């Protein structure tokens, strides 16, 4: 029996892909496998208050971001509810109040869809779990990832684990297109607390939404090669994550970032999502790596911000380098220090 009313609260992290997901089919299924580091500090906290209602004709919810009613999120959530109703058939029986906060600054250009959608999926599933005491933690995590995927593909990788693979791949046991799985093989020490400092180059609205971006892969002349490259890079990076070979890690991660952007630059219509400062930063990182024998590298999402990745033992020096040489390229000098985390948790 589902409760009449109540509330649940979850926090869920963002993640940064090392091998990128770009291109999908069917119900938010990926054209290639991807793997990401779960982040620790960039996260969304969502409280879901629910109350049974009389009519079950349509969805009923209100959304608050940082305490302010935010109607602009409603169409996205309506669409999410439509997609997941088959798997959570009670959705129309309730009125929901969704109160959400992000740990990272508003409109920082950091995508909140992975953390936001996974946090909401977790809250909704936690409600169902109250009437289903036999639901195991493994099943809960798997279904949460499955539901989160229907909100935003990359959100499937934000539930559990420090390294998460999404997309069926022969090299990963139990991997699936339907949900993310924790990469549970023995990972080399160096990756345990890997650092990600996010340089905010452009805080503006995304030029290309990820929905539009993924769709551009449908008629893309290089799509099939790209999917093959990603699947091959995934296999390679799994070996690297175990061996700790940072030179190979750097090569794969930077190639993935540039390939993602190359796909956008060669689609129709085409886009350049990097800004001049993105390139300045990349060149400085390469220069620093060369002159300091450092293992620093960069990755990019579908935007201009740069994720600077490096092992924890270089933290002090790299932060000095960022403060002295890279902050000037960031909007209002803004950057966020993050590191590998472990996944979502109830509050």
Binding site for ligand PMV (CB under 6 A): 17, 20-22, 34, 113, 152-154, 210, 214, 260, 301-302
Q: Are the C-beta atoms of 319 and 337 separated by less than 8 Å?
A: yes
Q: Are the C-beta atoms of 56 and 93 separated by less than 8 Å?
A: yes
Six-digit token string for 33: 């496998």
Three-state SS for 182?
strand
Q: How far apart are CA 137 and CA 35, in angstroms?
A: 22
> Of 35 and 246, which CB lies nearer to ligand PMV in the complex structure?
35
> Of 154 and 294, which CB lies nearer to ligand PMV in the complex structure?
154
> Of 32 and 141, which CB lies nearer to ligand PMV in the complex structure?
32
Q: How far is the CB of 46 from ligand PMV (least distance, A)?
A: 17
Q: Are the C-beta atoms of 329 and 322 separated by less than 8 Å?
A: no
Q: How far is the CB of 48 from ligand PMV (least distance, A)?
A: 21
Q: How far is the CB of 17 from ligand PMV (least distance, A)?
A: 3
Positive or negative: CA dihedral 2, 159, 39, 83: negative
Three-state SS for 265?
helix
Q: How far is the CB of 20 from ligand PMV (least distance, A)?
A: 4
Q: How far is the CB of 267 from ligand PMV (least distance, A)?
A: 13
> Of 25 and 139, which CB lies nearer to ligand PMV in the complex structure?
25
> Of 50 and 80, which CB lies nearer to ligand PMV in the complex structure?
80
Q: How far is the CB of 249 from ligand PMV (least distance, A)?
A: 17
What own/partner pairs with CB < 8 Å and gap ≥ 24 does 82-89 have? 83/27, 83/28, 83/150, 83/151, 84/121, 84/124, 84/147, 84/150, 84/151, 87/143, 87/146, 87/147, 88/124, 88/125, 88/128, 88/147
Q: How far apart are CA 22 and CA 226, in angstroms?
A: 9
- Length of the chain equals 347
Six-digit token string for 203: 């805080």
> Of 17 and 252, which CB lies nearer to ligand PMV in the complex structure?
17
Q: How far is the CB of 300 from ligand PMV (least distance, A)?
A: 8
> Of 167 and 311, which CB lies nearer to ligand PMV in the complex structure?
167
């Amino acid at each position: 029996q589902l409760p009449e009313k109540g509330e649940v609260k979850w926090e869920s992290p963002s993640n940064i892909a090392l091998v990128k997901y770009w291109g999908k089919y069917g119900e938010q299924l990926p054209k290639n496998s991807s793997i990401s580091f779960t982040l620790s500090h960039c996260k969304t906290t969502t409280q879901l208050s629910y109350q049974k209602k009389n009519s079950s004709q349509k969805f009923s919810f209100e959304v608050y971001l940082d305490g302010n009613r935010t109607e602009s999120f409603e169409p996205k959530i309506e669409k999410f509810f439509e997609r997941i109703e088959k798997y959570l058939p009670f959705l129309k029986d309730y009125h929901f109040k969704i109160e959400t906060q992000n740990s990272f600054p508003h409109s920082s250009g950091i995508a909140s869809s992975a953390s936001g959608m996974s946090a909401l999926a977790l809250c909704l599933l936690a409600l169902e779990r109250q009437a289903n005491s036999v639901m195991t933690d493994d099943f809960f995590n798997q279904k949460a990832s499955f539901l989160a995927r229907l909100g935003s593909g990359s959100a499937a990788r934000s539930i559990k684990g420090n390294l998460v693979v999404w997309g069926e791949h022969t090299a990963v046991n139990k991997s699936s297109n339907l949900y993310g799985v924790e990469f549970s093989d023995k990972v080399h020490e160096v990756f345990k607390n890997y650092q990600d400092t996010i340089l905010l180059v452009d805080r503006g609205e995304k030029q290309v939404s990820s929905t539009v971006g993924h769709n551009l892969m449908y008629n893309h002349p290089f799509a099939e090669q790209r999917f093959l490259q990603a699947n091959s890079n995934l296999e390679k990076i799994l070996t690297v994550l175990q061996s700790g070979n940072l030179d190979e890690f750097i090569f794969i991660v930077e190639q993935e970032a540039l390939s993602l952007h190359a796909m956008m630059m060669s689609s129709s219509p085409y886009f350049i999502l990097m800004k001049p400062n993105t390139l300045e930063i990349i060149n400085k990182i390469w220069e620093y790596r060369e002159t300091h024998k450092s293992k620093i590298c960069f990755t990019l999402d579908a935007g201009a911000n740069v994720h600077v990745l490096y092992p924890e033992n270089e933290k002090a020096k790299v932060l000095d380098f960022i403060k002295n040489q890279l902050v000037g390229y960031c909007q209002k000098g803004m950057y966020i220090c993050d590191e590998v985390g472990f996944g979502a948790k109830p509050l």
